[in-house]
Chains A and B, each alone.
Chain A
Amino acid sequence: MHAIREALAAIRRAPLLTALSAAMVALALFVVGLFAVATYNLHEALSRVEERVEVVVYVRDDVMEAELQLLEEDLLEMEEVLGVRYLSKDDALAQAREDLPEFEELFMNLEVNPLPASVEVELRPGFRGPASVARVADRATIYPFVDDVRFGREWVDRLHLLRRMGGIATAVLGTAFGVVAALIIATAIRIALFARREEIYVMRLVGATHGFIRRPFLLEGALTGLLGGILAAVLTYVSHLAVSRLIFPLEWIPLEWMVAGIAAGGLFGLVASAFAIRRYLREV
């Protein structure tokens, strides 16, 4: 109770300091928020692309039904494979006609169907990375009646790299700016401690416990962090809206991300002030 009263009193005594440090924390977390939005959208976009990652096994025209069945069963046994779909030469032609209506005439006049039959292999989510794709392709290549296996190796590799880089960049930037926010709060708490050094001195003199002295400052730090986090969330949301309206549509980050970000602000504030106070109580 006393701690809450004191923390609020401290904020009332120096509203500018609190507002200023919360604003600085908000700016630092805002950068993290922007990055989170970018990463989330990149992630979503990549997932959509990745859903379409599949392996297409082209087979020779003279393949026998039994041989095909063997291939399909073999592939279906692999943990990477979700399903297979056989596309006969006729199917392929029909599909081509549908996909490319401009060439309708060309298709009409064909005497022999030039398109090969194929087995389209759909991959299980989580098994659409380069290693899984290569494994499935290698397995199919073994069969002598398999002409070619296509999966856009470079594509899959690049997608994978992009994803990894996005993840790493978010982690690094998030940590860096989180630390910046923590340093700002620690500084603000040290200023608050300094402003109240006489009271703290008397508290220690007359036998107040460490916990009693610390609590209001911890609370103040946590509140500053929370406030900064909420402000950052608002700033990020507004920026996201602006970009969505004016430049290109963006998805908003999941609620859990936002809650986690704000909570992290509060936690950083708490930890930062704990460190500031620890040093201070040792020095006095």
Chain B
Amino acid sequence: MIQLSQVSKEYPGRGKALDGVSFRLEKGEFAFLTGHSGSGKSTTLGLIHQADTPTSGEVVACGFSSKHTSHREVWKLRRRVSYIFQDFRLLPGRTALENVTFALEVTGTPRRELSSRGNRLLAQVGLAVKSGLQVHELSGGEQQRVSIARALANDPLALLADEPTGNLDERASRGIMELFRDLNARGMTVLMATHDLELVRAYPGIRVLELTEGRLVYDSRAPAVEGA
């Protein structure tokens, strides 16, 4: 589903943000990507989503290789792999429903299906009753749910979540985690970056990949394979 092979990423003048990272995520798998701030988590997720290209090595996600996917084709990958941010990135001045239908509309959903499908997606994240509220009228946890509903609009195969609970309190964080677990139980592949070790410890069954200064130093599924 997602495979990184000897991936390095260098930002001019800043040294290596990633250094020879390799791992593989199977279909339906759930993994945490942990590490201190600045260890390369966001960079890793960004490369998988092809927001940027690796300096060396290869990233393959849902069959789309960083080496062979052109700028104009990235949209195909984006409809199979969705991205969730710590700061939600919702469109202000629109309702919860409008934020979801926006994603549906710009990816080709017929107009007459928009609101029914949007409402169904909001129901799936437990927000059916708040669909008409403006984004700023929602709590952080609710906003994150809207962004997850939006991420599900294209019926993706995988979710990349970059610190999705970073702005949320403990209760809301747990809610989001349960939502991810739920989706994962129904076959969704999930890769979630977090530096919240307490949260990671609360889910001992979930695979952990740990980055330190751009290197993969720990993989709970193969603890013997240490890069460092």
Contacts and interface: CB of A to CB of B under 8 A. Distances in A.
A207 B76 contact: yes
17 contacts: A2-B105, A199-B91, A201-B89, A202-B89, A202-B91, A202-B102, A202-B150, A204-B74, A205-B89, A206-B82, A206-B107, A207-B75, A207-B79, A207-B154, A208-B107, A209-B75, A213-B106
Query: What's the dominant secondary structure at chain A's contact region?
Result: helix
B207 interface: no
B45 interface: no
B158 to A, nearest CB: 13
Interface string B95-109: 000000011011110
B75 A210 contact: yes
Given A205-B78, A209-B72, 8 more contacts: A2-B105, A199-B102, A202-B89, A205-B89, A207-B78, A207-B154, A210-B71, A210-B75
Interface residues of A, number: 17
Interface of A: 2, 198-199, 201-210, 212-213, 281-282
Nearest to A206: B103
A13 to B, nearest CB: 12
Contacts of B59: none
A204 B78 contact: yes
Interface size class of B (residues with CB under 8 A): 20 to 34
Nearest to A199: B91
Contacts of A199: 91, 102
Closest 9 CB pairs of A and B: A207-B78, A207-B79, A208-B106, A206-B103, A207-B75, A203-B106, A209-B75, A207-B107, A210-B72
A206 B72 contact: no
Nearest to A1: B111
Contact of A206 (B71, B78, B92): B78
Contacts of B153: 206
B218 interface: no
Nearest to A210: B72
A209 B79 CA distance: 10
Contacts of A201: 89
A2 B106 CA distance: 9
Which of A202, A204, A206, A208: most chain B Cβ within 10 A? A206
Nearest to A282: B71
B83 interface: yes
A281 B70 CA distance: 13
A206 B74 CA distance: 10
B106 A206 contact: yes
Contacts of B74: 204, 207
Contacts of A205: 78, 83, 89
Which of A198, A199, A204, A209: most chain B Cβ within 10 A? A209
A272 to B, nearest CB: 21
Interface in B84-98: 89, 91-92
A150 to B, nearest CB: 69
Contact of B150 (A206, A212, A213, A282): A206
Nearest to A203: B106
Contacts of B76: 207
Contacts of A203: 106
Contacts of A208: 75, 106-107
Contacts of B103: 202, 206
Nearest to A213: B106
Contacts of B105: 2
Interface in B118-163: 150-151, 153-154
A277 B92 CA distance: 23
A100 to B, nearest CB: 79
A217 B105 CA distance: 17
Which of B78, B83, B106, B108: most chain A Cβ within 10 A? B106
Nearest to B105: A2
